[in-house]
Amino acid sequence: MDDVKLLGREEECRRLNHALRKKEAQLIVVYGRRRVGKTYLINAFFQKRFDFKLTGEYNAPKESQLENFTLELNRRTRRSNVIPNSWKEAFNHLRDYLEQLPSDEKHVVFLDEMPWMDTPGSDFLPAFEYFWNSYGNACDDLVFIVCGSATSWMTDHIDRNKGGLFSRKTCSLHLKPFTLGETEAFLQAAGINWSRYDIAMCYMIMGGIPYYLGFLDSELPLSSNIDMLFFSKGAELAEEFDNLFRTLFTHSDQYIRIVEELSKRRYGLGKKELAERTGLSYNGEFTKKLNRLVESGFVQSISYYHQKSRETRYQLSDYFSMFYFRFVREHYGVDESYWTHTYDNPSQNAWAGLTFEQLCRDHLLQIKQRLGISGVLTELSTWWARGTDRDQNNAGAQIDMVLDRRDHVISLCEAKYSPNLFEIDKAYELTLRNKIESFRSATGTTKSLQLVMITTFGVKNNKYSNLIQSQVQLDDLFD
């Protein structure tokens, strides 16, 4: 498949090609957020040339899953196989079929949405483990791909399996959303040639999720697209949030309560406080739910620089979910042109400013490249301090991104989203100076401090802008 090139997935294609060249049997695990393009990647890379492919059926019992398995096997063998009573019997039928194929070429098996096959009481996983250990692992011509959107299931049962599949996987691909640069290329390929400002706005609504981006209409401006997809009656993406969580998580209402509470908290919440605010029991099961949300890409765990408490704080990081809670849930169907009518109002501007900070965090590699520190080991965190904790005359301070660098420099990054050149006035210059001095005093650091402004179009040069030592602009995030 060396001639196959997929937009934004060059590294994944390289690793798949590398796996195909191996002489040993391959067990390839593909996971990532739902709608990120996992199935598309495998279908396009292998050009749909599978010896066997089965897709799990959502919320279907074992009997239906086994019937689907048999229908697919019948198409491949051109025989009428009897529906098996168990997954162990089904995998034995698959083995019989694969053993009849020529041994001088690679044979590709693809189980898509594998977590949906593992229904309660089905014994699916033990059957697959037995199949792989007793047969598949010894077949040098076999490439077996397993895929699923339930990221926590994939990582727990396949990627980190401590039973029969321990250390059996040969390749693990975690598909992530497109970057800004990849999103721009995707849109251009679809005939959409928007400004980078509009692309960034689109990204802060949809994230770099190919499935969502595929709904955009090249004949409409961004604002009309957003109205069409989110706010008009029957909008394609208006109910996506509920569908997304329902298909990913058992007891999805509890997961929704967690992300809804986090959507209200700019700087996140600790685990115990989050449990109290959601009304969920603070126990091991609650921790598992949080971990599943993190692994699925909806929530991120954040660290605070120089924090005495070691407690991890959690923050909603999925753009689509943030946009849903901020605007869609309340305004869907009320005004079909809501986004156009409220363009540049205070609510939109406040949301854009906060979400731009997340966009910057997600493009740390591009920021480091612009600062010339790509090869420098760097730890990302945030920082805040209450004035009363340190100094009665100090109102406190907060810094969006702290880049603690191995070269004995700390970059203090301020992110500002603006439709024009960002202008620093006297009041904001005093705020910046207060942040720097508060940080130095509170942390006691001896490292050099560098103030970095990350803006859309740069900082206007005036008598207050000399405080800025480095700048990163929106264009830099597209590299």
Rounded to whole angstroms, the Cα distance separating 323 from 416 reads 19
3 state SS of 171: strand
Mean pLDDT across 188-202: 97
The residues of the chain that CATH labels 3.40.50.300 are: 10-175
Name the packing angle between helices 196-206 and 180-189 (round to 10°).
110
Question: What is the separation, in whole angstroms, between the first and last Cα of the chain?
Answer: 27
Mean pLDDT across 452-461: 97
Task: Provide the pLDDT for residue 288.
Answer: 92
Complete DSSP assignment for 191-221 = T----HHHHHHHHHHHTT-HHHHTT--TTS-
Q: What is the pLDDT of residues 262-311, one digit of tens each?
A: 999 888 899 999 999 999 999 999 999 999 999 889 999 988 887 655 56
Contact yes or no for 413/452 (Cβ under 8 A) = yes
C-alpha dihedral over 42, 43, 47, 52, to 10 degrees?
90
Rounded to whole angstroms, the Cα distance separating 429 from 431 reads 5
The residues of the chain that CATH labels 3.40.1350.10 are: 363-477
Rounded to whole angstroms, the Cα distance separating 296 from 152 reads 7
Residue closest to 304 by CA, chosen among 246, 384, 249 = 384
Would you place residue 390 in the very low, low, confident or very high pLDDT band (cuts 50, 70, 90)?
very low
Would you place residue 111 in the very low, low, confident or very high pLDDT band (cuts 50, 70, 90)?
very high
Tokens of 231: 């706010």
Where does residue 93 rank: exposed (0-12), middle (13-18), buried (19+ CB within 10 A)? middle
Contact yes or no for 1/47 (Cβ under 8 A) = yes
CA 468, 474, 477, 479 dihedral sign is: negative
Mean pLDDT across 395-420: 91
Would you place residue 93 in the very low, low, confident or very high pLDDT band (cuts 50, 70, 90)?
very high
3 state SS of 461: coil
Check whether 3 has a pLDDT greater than 90.
no
Q: What is the pLDDT of residues 236-252, one digit of tens each?
A: 999 999 999 999 998 99
Would you place residue 152 in the very low, low, confident or very high pLDDT band (cuts 50, 70, 90)?
confident
Mean pLDDT across 71-99: 94
Homologous superfamily of the 10-175 domain (CATH): P-loop containing nucleotide triphosphate hydrolases (3.40.50.300)
Mean pLDDT of the chain: 91
3 state SS of 474: helix
Q: What is the pLDDT of residues 310-339, one digit of tens each?
A: 568 899 999 999 999 999 999 998 899 999
- In CATH, the number for domain 242-322 is 1.10.10.10
Task: Provide the pLDDT for residue 391.
Answer: 46
Which listed CATH number (3.40.50.300, 3.40.1350.10, 3.40.50.460, 3.65.10.10) goes with 363-477?
3.40.1350.10
Task: Provide the pLDDT for residue 308.
Answer: 58
Helices marked H in 55-208 = 62-77, 87-99, 114-117, 124-134, 151-154, 180-189, 196-206
Would you place residue 387 in the very low, low, confident or very high pLDDT band (cuts 50, 70, 90)?
low
Task: Provide the pLDDT for residue 162.
Answer: 65
Task: Provide the pLDDT for residue 314.
Answer: 94
3 state SS of 111: strand
Contact yes or no for 194/161 (Cβ under 8 A) = no
> How is the beta sheet containing 52-55 ordered, strand by strand?
52-55, 107-112, 142-148, 26-32, 171-175
Task: Provide the pLDDT for residue 2.
Answer: 47
3 state SS of 257: helix
Rounded to whole angstroms, the Cα distance separating 237 from 120 reads 31
Q: Each residue of 317-350: b (16+ CB within 10 Å) or e? A: bbbbbbbbbbbbeeebeeebebbeeeeeeeeeee
Mean pLDDT across 86-103: 95
Check whether 167 has a pLDDT greater than 80.
no
Task: Provide the pLDDT for residue 266.
Answer: 83
Q: Tell whether pTM > 0.85.
A: yes
Mean pLDDT across 146-166: 78
Q: What is the pLDDT of residues 358-386, one digit of tens each?
A: 999 999 999 999 999 999 999 999 998 76
Rounded to whole angstroms, the Cα distance separating 277 from 257 reads 9
Task: Provide the pLDDT for residue 445.
Answer: 93
The residues of the chain that CATH labels 1.10.10.10 are: 242-322
